[in-house]
Amino acid sequence: MACPCVRQQASNREIDCQEAMEPGFQAIVDCMLDAGWTQGEIMRSLRRLIAADNMTQKENAKVEAQIAIARAMMGFGSGSV
């Protein structure tokens, strides 16, 4: 899998990421088709997985913010546990 270029412009990174992901994505879709799933079922499931991941990321960010606030209120530094 291709890695992002360090000095690459930000506008190209998403395109390059998409191109790097394409073979693996196509392999997953092909496996699912071979297993008997339809293209529509696969695409809907992928959209739901992406939505679930987005929700998880948002919830994780909320929890991290709450932890940071609690630590600050208790007088702990960022390095203290």
- 4 occurs within a structural domain: no
Domains: count for the chain: 1
- 79 occurs within a structural domain: no
When comparing pLDDT for 10 and 41, which is higher? 41
Q: CA neighbours within 13 Å on the CB side: how many for 11?
A: 0
For residue range 38-72, list pLDDT tens digits in order. 999 999 999 999 999 999 999 999 999 999 999 89
Residue 57, Ramachandran bin (φ over 0: left; ψ between -120 and 50: alpha; else beta): alpha
Residue 40 lies in domain: 11-74
